[in-house]
Structure 1
Amino acid sequence: MSAYDLFIAPFMDYGFMRRALVAALCLSLGSGPIGVFLMLRRMSLVGDAMSHAVLPGAAIGYLVAGSLSLTAMGIGGLIAGLSVALLSGIVSRSTLLQEDASFASFYLASLALGVLIVSLRGSNVDLLHVLFGTILAIDTPALYQIGAISSFSLIAVALIYRPLVAECLDPGFLRAVGGKGPLYHFFFLFLVVLNLVASFQALGTLMAVGLMMLPAAIAQLWARSLPRMMAVAAGVAVGSSYFGLIASYHLELASGPTIILTAAIVYVVSIFLAPAGVAWRFLPLPHLKG
């Protein structure tokens, strides 16, 4: 088998592979930088909780549309995710519960409710589509929607980059200078939910956060500065998407899980070989050599 047949032919021969690749690349460029900020804010598990919180809204959108309409499910997921984010913030500020505990409580209830709604009115196949995604079934309108969300996310991060960094690293200082930290915090959660809704359409609720958190974790092992972390995260997500789709095509595997597993393999390798990984800790530092 030639290199062309291995790496290029699947996308030249099949339109659904081209659409899947474009969708995955858009998701990678939008979700990678957002994942870096999530990790810096120590909200990795909150991102996972938010990915499941969109399920009841998506399920209601599925019932209203009467089919697996990605647009209806996306709108429902966005409303549900923002509602959970808002309610979790209110509960954490009104009670003794920390924000992560509040998110976990709402996410469990949302996940159970969403699965229940889909199982009551849909088939097992519909439930599998909702939970694991249908990246190979992405159509042109859904592709436009994913591209628009990714573009908006990149522009928004560029516009609020400085206050977002300040809110991540020193929220007390931002409050002291009247920087409207809570407003930026909620807008950041809005971006997280928006990207999870886009990822949900392709990867399902169980793996929507995969292209957001795994590349961000890898970037933290390879880079020290924030801009480099964001670039590495986006690059790793793009590479994982491409090689994951190639592997799923030739090995006849499910595309969404294969993309996430590809990123997981890069993560395991990075744990050992990256500058902040395990192997480098056993090497003598230059200034300690005699």
Structure 2
Amino acid sequence: MIYDALIAPFVEYGFMRRALVACLALALGGGPVGTFLVLRRMSLMGDAMSHAILPGAAIGFLIAGLSIWWMSAGGLVAGLSIVLLAAIVSRTTALKEDASLAGFYLISLAAGVLIISLRGSSVDLLHVLFGTILSVTDDALLLIASIATLTLVTLAVIYRPLVIECFDPAFLRATTGGGTLWHFIFLALVVVNLVAGFQALGTLMALGLMMLPAAAARFWAGEVWSLAALSTLLAFLSGLVGLLLSYNFNLPSGPSIVLTAGVIYVGSIALGTRDSLRTRYFPRAHFHD
């Protein structure tokens, strides 16, 4: 019974194995990136950026249909363009970067939906918005794995200045003259990981597997490296459990994965070992001799 429910789906079906490998790759790349988004208080900016890739993906869809490479290239160009535009606006006007991104995100979301609607059907629109991880192809797996590898290598190179900027940006400015370069490299990593997540979970849910595990990890770990590692583990666990729920109960796979991550997040708020509701309102009694 346990074998049929937990192991057999991945042994008997290739599409389940590919989906699980995709979840692993997304967790490896998205876990550390989500951790830095949380530490830098950029969670809502990440949400805006996840929708910024939609018009580019939509243009790729118009050119070549549901082509992994065309839609990914379009999404990457659109996401990086929105980040650059938001940065220019925030540095040349009184508008803050988060507000600028929010404005471009709304424009991007509407434009992307309109572009897809011009040629595609409602099924195509749902595919782009919500993804189809159970039908992920070998090409998509290659792309997701390549992005995860690029992310881990890049983070290893820029890890120190990123950590310093999270906790002491004044020191970083004093020693290196500013963190603008590291900031833009990090934003580029966010965009490419959202493009990877878009292949499996769609533009509306790509951020879920990146942000929810990272936010949950804050209630269990304190060091940056342990936050990143736990976030990666929780993201993969969410993918595994979500896929099993989808298979055994005939549920949509993408929402099942993100909702599993959401349950872990809520549970961490309530029961975590660091600054959770349990530790704040029901602390352990301390006995003294």
TM-score, normalisation: structure 2: 0.97
Which SS does the other structure have where 2:105 is aligned?
A: helix
Which SS does the other structure have where 1:222 is aligned?
A: coil
Cα distance in 2 for residues equivalent to 1:180 and 1:281: 37
Cα distance in 1 for residues equivalent to 2:178 and 2:287: 46
Q: 2:59 is matched by which residue type in structure 1? A: I
CA RMSD of superposed structures (Å): 1.3
Q: CA deviation at 1:279?
A: 1.3
- Please, which of 217, 242, 245 is the counterpart of residue 243 of structure 2? 245
| Count of matched residue pairs | 288
Q: Per the alignment, do residues 104 and 31 of structure 1 end up closer, same or farther by CA in structure 2, a change over 3 Å counting? A: same
- For 1:56, the equivalent position in structure 2 comes to 55
Cα distance in 2 for residues equivalent to 1:110 and 1:167: 29
- For 1:159, the equivalent position in structure 2 comes to 157
- Identity within the alignment, %: 60
8 Å contact from structure 1 (residues 41, 168) kept in 2: yes
**1:101-158 deviations in whole A, cap 9, x for unaligned?**
0010000000000000001110000000000001111111110110000011011111
8 Å contact from structure 1 (residues 244, 260) kept in 2: yes
Q: CA deviation at 1:33?
A: 0.6
Cα distance in 1 for residues equivalent to 2:145 and 2:19: 12
Cα distance in 2 for residues equivalent to 1:287 and 1:44: 36
Q: CA deviation at 1:77?
A: 0.3
Q: Mean alpha-carbon deviation: is it higher for 46-55 or for 6-15?
A: 6-15
- For 1:29, the equivalent position in structure 2 comes to 28
Cα distance in 1 for residues equivalent to 2:243 and 2:283: 40
- For 1:190, the equivalent position in structure 2 comes to 188
Cα distance in 1 for residues equivalent to 2:182 and 2:279: 37
- For 1:274, the equivalent position in structure 2 comes to 272
Long gaps (5+) in structure 2: none
Q: 2:183 is matched by which residue type in structure 1? A: H
Which SS does the other structure have where 2:204 is aligned?
A: coil
Q: CA deviation at 1:263?
A: 0.6
Q: Per the alignment, do residues 289 and 205 of structure 1 end up closer, same or farther by CA in structure 2, a change over 3 Å counting? A: farther
Q: CA deviation at 1:172?
A: 2.3
Q: CA deviation at 1:4?
A: 1.0
**1:27-56 deviations in whole A, cap 9, x for unaligned?**
011101100100111100000000000000
- For 2:220, the equivalent position in structure 1 comes to 222
Q: Per the alignment, do residues 203 and 289 of structure 1 end up closer, same or farther by CA in structure 2, a change over 3 Å counting? A: farther
Does 2:66 correspond to 1:91? no
Cα distance in 2 for residues equivalent to 1:80 and 1:284: 48
